[in-house]
């Protein structure tokens, strides 16, 4: 079994078609090439998580404390969550913009 794995690795190393680099990734640095497809998916996942937090926090708090949603709205200032999410998104966008490699 181990010899079969080693032979497969040797064949992959010798395969000349794997040495070719796609033209759009030829100018990228290795770190950029590794994360090129990950950026959009990461931002999308973070956006979905923030949207879920903004839309469902009141129901989750009401369920956790055993109160009706209207009572949670009366007791807790839930406007702070969307405000903090906007500040977080702005801060991350500023960091990404200033840290981008030219």
Mean residue pLDDT of the chain comes to 75
Residue 32 maps to a domain:
no
Residue 66 maps to a domain:
yes
* pLDDT value for 102: 53
Residue 72 maps to a domain:
yes
* pLDDT value for 20: 54
What tens digit of pLDDT does each residue of 8-37 get?
Answer: 556 656 555 555 555 555 555 555 555 555
- Rounded mean pLDDT of 41-61? 88
Indicate the number of domains in the chain. 1
Residue 89 maps to a domain:
yes
- Rounded mean pLDDT of 56-64? 90
Residue 28 maps to a domain:
no
For 78, the domain range is: 39-101
| 16 or 99, greater pLDDT | 99
* Residue entry with tokens 């404390």: 65
């Amino acid at each position: 079994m181990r010899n079969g794995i080693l032979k497969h690795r040797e064949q992959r190393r010798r395969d000349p078609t794997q040495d070719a680099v796609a033209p759009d990734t030829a100018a990228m640095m290795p770190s950029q090439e590794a994360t090129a497809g990950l950026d959009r998916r990461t931002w999308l996942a973070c956006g979905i998580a923030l949207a879920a937090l903004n839309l469902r926090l009141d129901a989750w708090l009401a369920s956790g404390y055993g109160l009706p949603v209207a009572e949670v709205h009366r007791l807790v200032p839930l406007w702070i969550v969307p405000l903090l999410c906007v500040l977080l998104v702005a801060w991350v966008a500023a960091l990404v913009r200033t840290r981008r490699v030219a």
